[in-house]
Amino acid sequence: MSDVLNPPEPGASSATVPLKPLGKVVAVTSGKGGVGKTFVSANLAAALAKLGQRVLVLDADLGLANLDVVLNLYPKITLHDVFTGKAKLEEAIIRAPGGFSVLLAGSGMVEYSRLTPEVRGDFLRIMNGLVPHYDIVLLDTGAGISDVVLFAVSLASEVLVVATPEPTSLTDAYATIKVLVGQQKRQIIRMVINQTARLGDGRAITVQLQQVLDRFVVSEPGRHIKLIHMGDIPADPSVRQAIMRRQLLMQSTPGSPAAMAISQLALKIQDAVIPR
């Protein structure tokens, strides 16, 4: 029986892949918008798929993420149709060029961007239906620290914060982490620094964030937060090219420095979230 939620690649035998009880849910978030969250989500998904993982990327920004733009996909059936009961969940899941599955929200979801208890319930049901069919589910969350973002992140077992070395991005990433520690009692947050100018900038930024957190956030009893630096993605002109052409970097220029960094990030994520 073929797995409707995750159509196998042509030629691949789905029978050889045992269905794991629960996939890992990784929320990709940032605080500030425009730091490459969706770019990272999509290309990380492609890199993880290349490693043999069954990956789904979900537009957890309920219609405000630009996943459709990044992937150049405009499906007829989206999460919106699932929410409104016009379509079944499996009908809304599509195959992205990078060999992973995508669930797009659709523009009609903007009206759902108000997180009512019903939307919360629907979202939970959908997540419960999805997660068993994948090894990794990436939640591409919205910018900012809205109720929707915090809710989406609360569903994830792992959080990957994308930041750039810019002060505004760092401040927002820091504020986000602060909220996640305070509200969701997160103890581990993974960092990826995008658009770094020099080797090692990313790690230095993570170390810096950790120091400020230790001083201002962890000082309160019962709080502990460990930032884990997952990697840097160097500033790379091929990224802009891929984005302008609306292609995945992992496909257009897999040998570029940024693409190699994302491959390495994928390995680290795989090691971190999937038990061997």
The helix-helix angle for 167-184 and 201-216 (nearest 10°) equals 50
Nearer to another protein, 36 or 63 (CB): 63
Nearer to another protein, 48 or 77 (CB): 48
Provide, rounded to whole angstroms, the least separation between the CB of residue 213 and another protein: 9
Cα Rg, the chain, nearest whole Å: 18
Q: Is the separation of the CB atoms in 15 and 3 below 8 Å?
A: no
Q: Is the separation of the CB atoms in 101 and 95 below 8 Å?
A: yes
221 lines the binding site for another protein (CB under 8 A): no
Candidates 20-28, 92-100, 101-109, 194-202; binding stretch for another protein (CB under 8 A): 194-202
How many residues bind another protein (CB under 8 A)? The answer is 48
Nearer to another protein, 94 or 110 (CB): 110
Window 140-169: residues binding another protein (CB under 8 A): 142-149, 165, 167
Window 5-44: residues binding another protein (CB under 8 A): none
Which x/- pattern over 54-73 shows residues binding another protein (rule: CB under 8 A)?
A: --------------------
Nearer to another protein, 23 or 231 (CB): 231
- Contact residue for another protein among 34, 111, 208, 246 (CB under 8 A): 208
Sheet holding 24-29, edge to edge: 93-95, 101-103, 55-59, 136-140, 24-29, 158-163, 188-196, 226-234
Please identify which residue in the block is written with the tokens 């990078």: 98
Provide, rounded to whole angstroms, the least separation between the CB of residue 240 and another protein: 20
Nearer to another protein, 51 or 87 (CB): 51
Nearer to another protein, 42 or 148 (CB): 148
183 lines the binding site for another protein (CB under 8 A): yes
Task: Give the C-alpha separation, 264 to 20, whole Å.
Answer: 24
Task: Give the C-alpha separation, 230 to 203, whole Å.
Answer: 9
Task: Give the C-alpha separation, 108 to 268, whole Å.
Answer: 36
Task: Give the C-alpha separation, 136 to 265, whole Å.
Answer: 14
Query: 192: closest CA among 262, 270, 267?
Result: 262
Task: Give the C-alpha separation, 256 to 42, whole Å.
Answer: 16
209 lines the binding site for another protein (CB under 8 A): yes
Candidates 10-18, 87-95, 123-131, 209-217; binding stretch for another protein (CB under 8 A): 209-217
- In degrees and rounded to multiples of 5, residue 160 shows phi and psi of -115, 115
Nearer to another protein, 89 or 175 (CB): 175
264 lines the binding site for another protein (CB under 8 A): yes
Burial environment of residue 255 by CB neighbours within 10 A (0 to 12, 13 to 18, 19 or more): exposed
Please identify which residue in the block is written with the tokens 């630009």: 66
Binding site for another protein (CB under 8 A): 47, 50-51, 113-116, 142-149, 165, 167, 170-171, 174-175, 178-179, 182-183, 198-201, 203-204, 207-209, 211-212, 215-216, 231-232, 255, 257, 260-261, 263-264, 266-267
